[in-house]
C-alpha cells in the first residue's frame, strides 16, 4: 500500500509539510511518523529541531560502527 502523504512532503526523514507549514519527522526504516502523546504528528518550526528529533527517532549507525 502506498503512503498518500509522501507525494505532498519533500525530503528524507525530515520533511516539509506545505499544508501544515512545518517540518515533520519520519522513520524511513519503518515508515512510522513521529507523533505527540495525543497521537497527532509532531510538527517543528525549524529544520534544526526536526533534524535533532529525527536523529533520536531513527536509529543510525555512527561512523565506525558495524
Does the pTM surpass 0.75? The reply is no
Distance CA 46, CA 30 (A): 24
Residues 1-28 have pLDDT tens digits of 444 444 455 567 899 999 999 999 988 7
Strand-pairing partners, residue 41, are 35
Amino acid at each position: 500500500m502506498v503512503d498518500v502523504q509522501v507525494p505532498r512532503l519533500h525530503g528524507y526523514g525530515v520533511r516539509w509539510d506545505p499544508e501544515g507549514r512545518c517540518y515533520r519527522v519520519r522513520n524511513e526504516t519503518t515508515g512510522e511518523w513521529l507523533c505527540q502523546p495525543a497521537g497527532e504528528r509532531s510538527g517543528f518550526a525549524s529544520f534544526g529541531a526536526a533534524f535533532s528529533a529525527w536523529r533520536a527517532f531513527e536509529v543510525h549507525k555512527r561512523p565506525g560502527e558495524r
